[in-house]
Amino acid sequence: MRVLVVGGGGREHALCWALARSTAVFCAPGNPGTAECATNLDIPADQGAALVAAIRARRIDLTVIGPEAPLAAGLADRIAEAGFAVFGPSASAARIEASKAWAKDLMARAGVPTAPARSFTDREAALAYIATHAEPLVVKASGLAAGKGAVVCETRARAAETAAAMLAGGLGPAGREIVVEAFLRGEELSVLALTDGDQVRILPPSQDHKRLGDGDTGPNTGGMGAYAPVSPATPDLLRRVRGEVLEPVLRQMAAEGTPYRGVLYAGLMISDAGDPNVVEFNCRFGDPETQAIVPIMTDDLATDLWAIGSGEPWRPAGSVAESRGAAVTTILAAPGYPNAPRKGAAVTIPDRLPADTLLFHAGTTRDASGTLRTAGGRVLCATGLGPDVPAARSASVRLAEAIDFEGKVFRRDIAWREVARAGAA
């Protein structure tokens, strides 16, 4: 089988790495890391016509779409209409991420547990609502904001300032509509599930770390690291997530004529009582969660993706994907990230990586001389492997320390909750 992965970040490198173990892989546009395990095609992810032409010319059997923006723009629809198998939801189904306001309404209709919320396009109406809302509260851009559109506000004054800035164009089109919701307390959990719209197979649960600095300080980012597995994600909790979150929303979407096929990502807050509540849904593999999930999976990912993407009968081998050991991914970011990352610095990587590590490229490029340079806010993903999370975290940090570029920024405390739990055990 020949698989095309669309995208050029760390998530796509991890997917290419996993799929290349059993099939021939292409990546568009890819990056210097994907070039080590796939054939890169110099086609941007937003060039639908060129991608379809390449699928035809390269005799691609299955296309896997990584980023959310091309999914929201209808790339999966375009590929399917051309007669090719594609893994990823339609544009109408991708609204579950592309419009947080639409997703909130969908969850209400499906009876899915989530924070109370209201949506606004009018500044004065939003400010009037915020003025009566309990503190703290959360203000979110309804549209796609690269993981940076949710702001936890400790005070109503901060929420009013944030809402006004978003509605005034501070996040561009993503903030033309906003969602104001109650703050949920608890521990975050990322549950990604493969689905054909009916059956569901949960991938190893993970936890993302959004804040820039150690101790969960600083601004929100697209994600500074992730780890898997997460010990609170017990079989009982995953059964509840399946029955109370994933299956109800899939049934509701099917009933409304927007069946969902692909990977459905539920970003959850688990309360102190152990109850799952949805913070948001995403319509794709998480980034950086994927960089921690696929290295510990023991199944052949290509088999499931092919069955779902091709529409052939899917017989998932278990309700939860099998995994072994633990993985921790630490993101190395450029100085100035997330607001104004500085690019172009030369990157030095050890000639040989430790056996208990993997390195996924996110924002890198090679110049005319072949020198590796930074080309994005999130530059590299240092994934450590081990029998447990503490060992994997140590391996991840060692690799992050061994890589050099001017002004590199990374957290040393990814998976701190799990490490603390292990220390208390």
> DSSP characters for 278-328?
EEEEESS--TTHHHHHGGGB-S-HHHHHHHHHHT-----SSSB--B-SEEE
Same topology for domains 122-176 and 187-310, yes or no? no
116/49 Cα distance (integer angstroms): 41
pLDDT (tens digit per residue) in 278-312: 999 999 999 999 999 999 999 999 999 999 999 99
Amino acid 146: pLDDT = 77
Residue with tokens 């896997």: 64
Average pLDDT over residues 347-360: 96
Q: Is the pLDDT of residue 148 over 80?
A: no
Amino acid 255: pLDDT = 98
pTM: 0.96
Calculate the CA 281 to chain-centre distance. 10
pLDDT (tens digit per residue) in 122-137: 999 999 999 999 999 9
**Could you tell me whether strands 326-333 and 372-374 are parallel, antiparallel, or unpaired per DSSP bridges?**
unpaired
User: In this structure, how many other beta carbons lie within 10 angstroms of the beta carbon of residue 313?
Assistant: 7
Q: With the C-alpha atoms ordered 222, 265, 324, 12, is the resulting torsion angle positive or negative?
A: negative
86/73 Cα distance (integer angstroms): 15
194/318 Cα distance (integer angstroms): 12
Average pLDDT over residues 48-53: 98
DSSP for residue 263: E
CATH class of 2-91: alpha beta
- The superfamily CATH assigns to domain 326-424 is Phosphoribosylglycinamide synthetase, C-terminal domain (3.90.600.10)
Amino acid 147: pLDDT = 73
236/319 Cα distance (integer angstroms): 13
- Burial class of residue 283, CB neighbours in 10 A (0-12, 13-18, 19+): buried
Q: Is the pLDDT of residue 425 over 70?
A: no
Reply yes or no on domain 187-310 having CATH 1.10.10.10. no
Amino acid 424: pLDDT = 62
CB 265 within 8 A of CB 284: yes
**Amino acid identity, residue 414?**
I
Average pLDDT over residues 118-123: 96
Amino acid 43: pLDDT = 98
CB 206 within 8 A of CB 229: yes
Amino acid 318: pLDDT = 86
Provide the 3-class DSSP secondary structure of residue 57: helix
pLDDT (tens digit per residue) in 249-267: 999 999 999 999 999 999 9
Amino acid 145: pLDDT = 87
Residues 76, 79, 85, 86: what is their CA dihedral angle, to the nearest 10 degrees? Answer: -20
Domain ranges of the chain: 2-91, 122-176, 187-310, 326-424
Reply yes or no on domain 122-176 having CATH 1.20.140. no
| Nearby residues of 338 by Cβ (< 8 Å), 6 or more positions away | 148, 212, 219, 220, 221, 222, 377
Beta bridge partners of 269: 188, 277
User: In this structure, how many other beta carbons lie within 10 angstroms of the beta carbon of residue 257?
Assistant: 7
Beta bridge partners of 359: 382
Please tell me the least confidently modeled range out of 87-91, 117-121, 241-245, 314-318.
314-318
Which contiguous run of DSSP H or E holds residue 118? strand 117-120
**Amino acid identity, residue 194?**
L
200-202: strand order across its sheet: 200-202, 187-195, 262-270, 276-282
Average pLDDT over residues 215-244: 96
Amino acid 32: pLDDT = 98
